[in-house]
A and B are shown apart, each in its own frame.
Chain A
C-alpha cells in the first residue's frame, strides 16, 4: 500500500515523536509513505471566509502533488488534516474558491478536489483495518487510556466525515486494538483553548483543567492525542497524568519504539 504523506511544520520540530513513530508504525504495518514534494506549512488553521484564497494555496499544492502521483494523501497532525481536508472540500464544492486557486496556480490540469485525504487513524481503521493492527500487536498496552479528540479531527462533521462528531469511537476502537481499555469522558471533543496559548495562556489552562480533571475522575492512566497544540496545552495543565501521541503508543504496542 503506497500513499503520499504530509507531515507538517510542527512534526519536523516540536512534535517529532508524532511523525517518527507514525512512520515506523506504517513501515511495520506494510504501508509505504512518501512525503509530498516541497510541501509547505498548511497555516495551522483553516480560514473559513470564502474570499481567503491565498491562505488555502499551500494545501492545494500538496493535494495536487498527491493527485499527480495517483495516491491518497495521509496526514497525522490534526491541524494539517483539518486544513487540508477542508480546502479539498472547497476545491470540490465551492466554485469561487476553486476558480481563485486555479487561476493563481495555473496548474497543467486544474485541481478540482480529486485527492482522497485520510488521517493516519483512518488509515489504520479503513485501509489496514483495526483487526489487522490488533494482530500485529506484540506488547499490548494494558492501561486505562482516554482519547482526546479535541475539535480539529471531527468538526465540521459533514466535511471531516471521520466519525460521529458528537459521539466518536475511532480512537476508542484504536485503544482497544492495541490492548488498552478506553476511558470515555464527555470532554474528549471539547476545545483545549488552541492558539490562545500564544496570547492568553490562562484560557487554555482553564479549559485543559476541566478536560484533564474529567479524565482523571474517570480513572484514566494515560491520555492520547493527535494534535501538537492539544499536546502542549494539555501537558502544561494535566499535572501527573501523562499525555502521549497516539502514534507513540502504537509504536510501543507494535514493538517499534
Chain B
C-alpha cells in the first residue's frame, strides 16, 4: 500500500471522518500526555487529511497515547482522534518485525506489584 492507501485504510478501520474537524485544538488541549508526544492529537487528524501520514509513521507519537479518550470526549465535532491514533499504531505494529515491546523488555520495569492488567494492556497496544 502506498501512503494515500494507508491513510484511507486508517480512516476506514478507525471509522474517523477527518473532514469533520474544525481545527479548534480542543483535543490537544485536553491531552494529558501532550508534552510527551512529538505530534499531537489535532496533528494526527490534519496530517492524515492532508497527505502527511509519513511523518506520523516515522514518529514515536502514536505510542505515547494512553488511549484515555479525553480528546474523544471533548471534541465538539465527534471526530474521535484517539481512534485515529490507534489506527496509526496498528498500521505500524501490523508490519513484519515491528512489535514495539518484546516480552524481555518488560523485565526492566517488572516488580512484585506490577498488575497483570498493565502487562496485557501494554502487549495489546505495542505488539501484534
Contacts and interface: CB of A to CB of B under 8 A. Distances in A.
Contacts of B95: none
Interface of B is mostly: helix
User: Which of under 10, 10 to 19, 20 to 34, or 35 or more describes the interface residues of B?
Assistant: 35 or more
A156 B67 CA distance: 11
A154 B14 CA distance: 21
Contacts of A191: 32-33, 66, 68, 70
A48 B14 contact: yes
A137 interface: no
B57 interface: no
Contacts of B101: 198-199
A193 B122 contact: no
Contacts of A9: 116-117, 120
A199 B70 contact: no
B82 interface: yes
Given A49-B13, A191-B32, A155 B73 contact: yes
Contact of A232 (B33, B74, B90, B114): B114
B12, B67, B69, B100 pick with most chain A CB within 10 angstroms: B69
Interface string A66-84: 0000000000010100000
B106 interface: yes
Contacts of A231: 115
Contacts of A197: 109, 114, 118, 122
B119 interface: yes
Interface in B63-121: 63-64, 66-70, 72-74, 82-83, 86-87, 90, 100-101, 105-106, 109, 113-121
A154 B68 CA distance: 10
Contact of B86 (A41, A47, A77, A166): A47
Nearest to A49: B13
B73 A199 contact: no
A198 B33 contact: no
Contacts of B86: 47-49
A157 interface: yes
A229 B66 contact: no
B126 interface: yes
A194 B124 contact: no
Given A166-B73, A194-B118, A229-B117, 5 more contacts: A8-B117, A10-B117, A13-B116, A45-B67, A198-B101
